[in-house]
Amino acid sequence: MSEHTTTGETTGEPTRRDFLYLTTGMAGAVGAVAVAWPFIDQMRPDASTLALASIEVDVTSLEPGMSMTVKWRGKPVFIRNRTQKEIDDAKGAQVAELKDPVARNANLPPDAQATDVARSAGDGKENWIVMIGTCTHLGCVPLGQAGEYGGWFCPCHGSVYDTAGRIRKGPAPMNLLIPQYAFSSEKKIKIG
C-alpha cells in the first residue's frame, strides 16, 4: 500500500485528486462549448420564432360578455368583449381614484391616462379589451369575470381588477398590461 503511494508521488503520475481536477476542468470546457451554440442560435430567429412574434385571433365567436385566452410569446392574453354594463361600470371610475392612473397600453404614449377608452380598443370598439393575463404583483394568471368589480380577480394574493383591467384593490402595483395589437379586419385581432 505504502509502496503504491510512494510510486505515484515520485513518478509524477496524477493522484486521484489531480484526476478529479482534470475531469472537472474538461467537463467545464465541454459545457462552455455546449452553452455557446444555443446562445448564438437564439440570435438568428428562425421561421417559428418570427411566427410567434405576432398572432392573429378570430374573435367572431365572442358575444358581449364572453372572453377567451390565447397564448402569445409564451404568455396568456385575455380578450374580452364587454357588455354595455361592464363598459359603463369602468367609465364610472375617475382616473384620480385609481391606484395606477397610467393606461399601460403599448398602443398609446407611455404617459396616457387610464381612462376606460384608453384601456380598450378605442372609440367605437370600446367593448374590446386585450391584455396580458399576468398579474402585475407576482405573475399569477387572474380569473376573469370575477372579483368585486366583475373584472378579474387574482386568487394568489387577492388583487382585484375592474372591467377595464385596472388594479383597484390588493397588492398588485399596476394595471394589467396591454400589448401592441390592432384589428386586422372587423373580427380579427393581430397581437404583436
CA–CA separation, 55 and 19 (whole Å)? 54
d(CA 122, CA 45): 33
166 binds ligand FES (CB under 6 A): no
Q: Is 29 in the site for ligand FES (CB under 6 A)?
A: no
Contact residue for ligand FES among 130, 135, 160, 178 (CB under 6 A): 135
Q: In the bound complex, what is the minimum distance in angstroms from residue 99's beta carbon to ligand FES?
A: 13
Q: Which of 85, 157, 187, 188 is catalytic?
A: 157
Q: How distant is the alpha carbon of residue 103 from its chain centre? A: 17
Q: Please list the residues that pair with 189 across neighbouring strands.
A: 57, 183
Helix (H) or strand (E) run with residue 48 in it: helix 47-53
Considering the complex, what minimum distance in angstroms separates the CB of residue 187 from ligand FES?
31
Cβ(161)–Cβ(152) under 8 Å? yes
143 binds ligand FES (CB under 6 A): no
Q: Catalytic annotation on 137?
A: no
140 makes contact with ligand FES (CB under 6 A): yes
Element at 104 (helix H, strand E): none
Residue from the set 77, 131, 172, 189 that interacts with ligand FES by CB under 6 A? 172
Q: For residue 61, which of 150, 187, 189 has the smallest C-alpha distance? A: 187
Give the binding site for ligand FES (CB under 6 A): 135, 137-140, 154, 156-159, 170-172
Active site residues: 157
